[in-house]
Amino acid sequence: MTQLERALTGEVTEEIKTVAKDEGIDAETLRERVAAGQAVVPANLHRKGKITGIGRGLRTKVNASIGTSTSIADAQMEVEKARVAEKYGADTLMDLSVGGDIATIRRAVMDSVALPIGTVPLYEAFAAAIEKYGAAVKMPAELLFEITEKQCEEGVGFMAIHCGINRKTVEMLRRQHYRYGGLVSKGGSYMVAWMEHNNMENPLYEHFDRVVEILKKHDTVLSLGNGFRAGAIHDSTDRVQIQELLINCELAETGRQAGCQTMVEGPGHIPINEIEANIIMEKKMSGGAPFYMLGPITTDIAPGYDHITAAIGAALSSSYGADFICYVTPSEHLGLPYPEDVREGVIAARIAAHVGDMIKHKKMDADKEMSKARRDMKWDAQFRLAIDPERALEIKKKRGDGDEHSCTMCGRFCANEMLRGMFEKNMADSDKK
């Protein structure tokens, strides 16, 4: 049985207890939310690892995506990237490999970390079709289901499945005539090409019941992928993106009713004034299913700094109610990320998630403690409270330690040092509040 099915019987599973303890919430409350489809717990039956929860009332989670391309397929580097992502606090990991020995790379990554692992099985299916048949459009539909089953058996915790692409959405894209950013989803573009070449419906949509049955058998969370997400802010919230979102929200409910844990994926590039509307639509149309935001990137003119453009969008998304965000690295739009890019992406996304949770969950205690530690020049406490203590310590040491209390920013002109002792009683009384 899945976590959803067990929650519906009233069972508070060990996995739910673990998440509830980590999050500091009542386990029965979490069980009710899992039963209602408002939270998911990726806990594939075939793999033991870190247990985390995604959804209503829980800390906004951060996913780090890694994976090879057909240009760079270094299995050892992918393992290193996975370990970097785990070290710096990613909650989940997605292996999006499309080059090299995809299955072997995935297993090596899964063996190297304890994080829940996500995949896009369609990638491996199309890569296999290119190798065996010479073209992705020659892929037998059955291959999609075979690879999905195989990956579930390996212990994949959640899967992005492109079920919301169908003949209606493809026709809508054709009638729309243009997109400034084109179709940027690899899975989306390959599936549309397959459908057009074969004049057939998307098998993942046509046989959605089979998709659900496979994932349900292994308790793999279904993440309804957005193959028509905008790749440019001028394409955001257009008709085809919203049509796919509508379909995915309906499918999320259908999958949930069948006992499969589900969540819905959100836009990629979007101006900040449209983020809240997208989240409101997803939550209302899906019955509160967890929303997985890819970024989102909020401007198109900052290559090399897209971890920052995405952090802006992620912070707003989290504050408005998104449950899960996918990091973006500095190499987005420029090349395959290296391990140092993964670190930058994870930390930027974690900061964004925290900023959003400060509003969404009123979680500001750590910020208050940091403020007091800075006021009192307690450096050990400052490093302990930092999202990336290692980086904070590196920077301070590189610039010199100053004296016992201050740093080299102000030196002897330290504002806090100037007033030390003058208001200590008032501050002590305030700290008790």
* Long-range contacts, stretch 125-134, CB < 8 angstroms, 24+ apart: 126/98, 126/190, 126/194, 127/98, 127/99, 127/102
- Do 204 and 305 fall into the same domain? yes
| Alpha-carbon gap, residue 265 to 324, rounded angstroms | 9
| Alpha-carbon gap, residue 311 to 320, rounded angstroms | 14
Is the Cβ–Cβ distance between 350 and 64 less than 8 Å? no
The pLDDT score that the predictor gives to residue 69 is 96
- Strands 54-55 and 61-66, by their bridges, are unpaired
Residue 16 lies in a domain: no
Whether 426 has a pLDDT exceeding 70, the answer reads no
**CATH code, domain with 240:** 3.20.20.540
Residue 11 lies in a domain: no
Residue-wise pLDDT for 101-122, tens only, equals 999 999 999 999 999 999 999 9
| Alpha-carbon gap, residue 109 to 181, rounded angstroms | 32
- Do 127 and 212 fall into the same domain? yes
Residue 40 lies in a domain: no
Q: Which residue has the higher pLDDT, 408 or 156?
A: 156
- Do 295 and 373 fall into the same domain? no
| Alpha-carbon gap, residue 285 to 296, rounded angstroms | 20
Domain count of the chain?
Answer: 2
Confidence of residue 410 (pLDDT cuts 50, 70, 90): confident
Dihedral (C-alpha) 347, 54, 206, 94: value to the nearest 10 degrees?
30
The pLDDT score that the predictor gives to residue 432 is 63
Burial environment of residue 150 by CB neighbours within 10 A (0 to 12, 13 to 18, 19 or more): middle
- Indicate the residue among 345, 360, 375 that finishes a domain: 360
- Do 371 and 351 fall into the same domain? no
- For residue 201, report the phi and psi dihedrals to the nearest 5 degrees: -75, 155
* Long-range contacts, stretch 423-431, CB < 8 angstroms, 24+ apart: 427/375, 431/372
The type of residue at 382 is Q
- Strands 92-95 and 117-119, by their bridges, are parallel
Whether 43 has a pLDDT exceeding 80, the answer reads yes
Query: Where in the sequence is the domain holding 387, given as residue range(s)?
Result: 365-431
Residue 179 lies in a domain: yes
Residue-wise pLDDT for 116-154, tens only, equals 999 999 999 999 999 999 999 999 999 999 999 999 999
The pLDDT score that the predictor gives to residue 127 is 96
| Alpha-carbon gap, residue 194 to 391, rounded angstroms | 46
Is the Cβ–Cβ distance between 314 and 266 less than 8 Å? no
- Do 239 and 226 fall into the same domain? yes
**Tokens 């998304």, located at residue:** 317
- Do 75 and 180 fall into the same domain? yes
| Alpha-carbon gap, residue 418 to 188, rounded angstroms | 60
Dihedral (C-alpha) 111, 114, 118, 122: value to the nearest 10 degrees?
10
- Indicate the residue among 360, 383, 415 that finishes a domain: 360
Confidence of residue 428 (pLDDT cuts 50, 70, 90): low
| Alpha-carbon gap, residue 327 to 348, rounded angstroms | 8
- Do 84 and 197 fall into the same domain? yes
- Do 317 and 409 fall into the same domain? no
- Do 399 and 317 fall into the same domain? no
Residue 18 lies in a domain: no
The pLDDT score that the predictor gives to residue 430 is 63
- Do 146 and 167 fall into the same domain? yes
| Alpha-carbon gap, residue 155 to 110, rounded angstroms | 9
- Do 193 and 137 fall into the same domain? yes
pLDDT, mean of residues 239-244? 96
pLDDT, mean of residues 374-378? 88
- Do 261 and 369 fall into the same domain? no
- Indicate the residue among 360, 377, 393 that finishes a domain: 360
The pLDDT score that the predictor gives to residue 193 is 96
Whether 403 has a pLDDT exceeding 60, the answer reads no
